[in-house]
Amino acid sequence: MKRFLRACLAIAASCVLLSSCGAPDNAGVPDDGDVVDEVDENIDYMAEAEEFMSKFEYKIECPVGLKYRKDGVGYGELVKTGYYSETLEKDRNVNIVLPDGYTKDKKYPVLYILHGIFGDQNSMTGEEDPNIIVPIENLIASGEAKEMILVFPYMYASKTQDVCTGIDVENSAAYDNFVNDLVNDLMPFMEKNYSVATGRKNTAIIGFSMGGRESLAIGLLKPELFGYVGGIAPAPGLVPGRDWAMEHPGQFSEEDVKFKDGIMPYLYMICSGDDDHTVGAFPKSYHELFEKNEITHVWYEIPGSDHGNPAIQSGIYNFCKYIFTVE
């Protein structure tokens, strides 16, 4: 039965990616050599997720007291490093924040944090804006969040070019291709070089804007690997649609936006500012689509927020309080 589930997951992921937009050099299907050892036909994953999310309570804004460094709190080390991507046949940059007191004698869960379009591995690590590392570490220090390793990848995943050159189908395809680099190259790199707790209970992903769109897509494609998934102000293009920039072919048809084979993350969260002039109403349209397709999820809006803070900090704050809490 487990082999059958693995086969179903492989077919589902392949079909979705092959039908998504993409330039030929970026169009990759996830390598299904990745381990799905936690998939158990005796577990009702949908019921688990529904129960978990029924207990989710959010605050509209990240508390001010968490946004700044505090005396007496130990903060983690930011490591700038790199790895070789077999998927892209090139070296890749990544920033990693190891928790205060990091030791190889412990295993730590991992949160992958994805940047927006035109961003890079440094975009989400600044202390001024969006300032998310400090709030996370303050949550850890107060006991409101689990100790974790933070990973800030470079999400633009093209074989032929190193940076995004525009908002169009070809460049969007490079972001869509990140799932392959993530699963086949970055995650194995983390497991080989750092003291990482593996499995979906110990692996989370959240992103902002284009990173939010890709986080939601990765959650749909790889629910057996990611137990917690969040999208903050997710960009258009998860499904077909038009915005001010382009006509989006969509990574999925609306009918295919669903968790197949009865597996889904414990937490699937979307939030956005209600005054977002960049992605507009697309985040809310995803929420409405999830409701239509009967996908259990968390959705809320941050009044008065445009495309940035306070929405980013709010999403990070609420998400990090709940991840890695499933025993």
327 domain-assigned: no
Query: Residue 149 and residue 136: Cα distance in Å, rounded?
Result: 11
Q: Which of 190, 220, 226, 212 is CA-nearest to residue 95?
A: 190
pLDDT band at 23 (very low <50, low <70, confident <90, very high): very low
Cis amide leading into 310 (omega within 30): yes
251 domain-assigned: yes
**Residue 18 confidence (pLDDT):** 33
The parent domain of residue 242 ranges over 2-322
Other Cβ atoms less than 10 A from the Cβ of 270: the count is 24
77 domain-assigned: yes
288 domain-assigned: yes
Span 43-53, average pLDDT: 96
Residues forming a β-bridge with 272: 301
Least confident interval from 26-40, 117-131, 303-317: 26-40
pLDDT in tens, 124-146: 998 777 789 999 999 999 999 99
Tell me 94's DSSP state: E
DSSP-H helix ranges across the chain: 2-19, 45-54, 133-142, 169-176, 178-181, 187-193, 210-221, 282-292, 311-322
> Does position 4 have pLDDT exceeding 90, yes or no?
no
Number of alpha carbons in the 13 Å side-chain half-sphere of residue 129: 5
Q: Which of 136, 199, 138 is CA-nearest to residue 326?
A: 199
83 domain-assigned: yes
Query: Residue 220 and residue 166: Cα distance in Å, rounded?
Result: 26
292 domain-assigned: yes
Span 169-190, average pLDDT: 97
pLDDT band at 203 (very low <50, low <70, confident <90, very high): very high
Cis amide leading into 240 (omega within 30): no
Query: Residue 266 and residue 48: Cα distance in Å, rounded?
Result: 7
Percent of the chain with pLDDT over 70: 88
> Does position 30 have pLDDT exceeding 80, yes or no?
no
> Does position 35 have pLDDT exceeding 80, yes or no?
no
**Residue 41 confidence (pLDDT):** 82
> Does position 227 have pLDDT exceeding 60, yes or no?
yes
Span 300-319, average pLDDT: 97
Beta carbons within 8 Å of 281's beta carbon, 6+ residues apart: none
Query: Residue 65 and residue 240: Cα distance in Å, rounded?
Result: 41
Domain CATH code at residue 310: 3.40.50.1820
pLDDT band at 282 (very low <50, low <70, confident <90, very high): very high
Span 57-85, average pLDDT: 95
> Does position 286 have pLDDT exceeding 90, yes or no?
yes
pLDDT in tens, 142-168: 999 999 999 999 999 999 999 999 999
Span 118-125, average pLDDT: 96
pLDDT band at 101 (very low <50, low <70, confident <90, very high): very high
The number of folded domains in the chain is: 1
Percent of the chain with pLDDT over 90: 83
Which is it for strands 203-208 and 228-232: parallel, antiparallel or unpaired?
parallel
Q: Which of 235, 257, 256 is CA-nearest to residue 245?
A: 235
Query: Residue 88 and residue 153: Cα distance in Å, rounded?
Result: 14
Q: Which of 194, 218, 232, 219 is CA-nearest to residue 95?
A: 194
40 domain-assigned: yes
119 domain-assigned: yes
**Residue 232 confidence (pLDDT):** 98
Span 4-17, average pLDDT: 37
Query: Residue 97 and residue 78: Cα distance in Å, rounded?
Result: 4
Average pLDDT of the chain, as a whole number: 89
* Contact criterion met (CB below 8 Å) for 87 and 145: no
Q: Which amino acid is at 150?
A: L
Query: Residue 136 and residue 319: Cα distance in Å, rounded?
Result: 10
Least confident interval from 12-21, 36-45, 182-191, 216-225: 12-21
Q: Let me know how long the chain is.
A: 327
**Residue 125 confidence (pLDDT):** 94
> Does position 15 have pLDDT exceeding 90, yes or no?
no
**Residue 174 confidence (pLDDT):** 97
**Residue 38 confidence (pLDDT):** 62
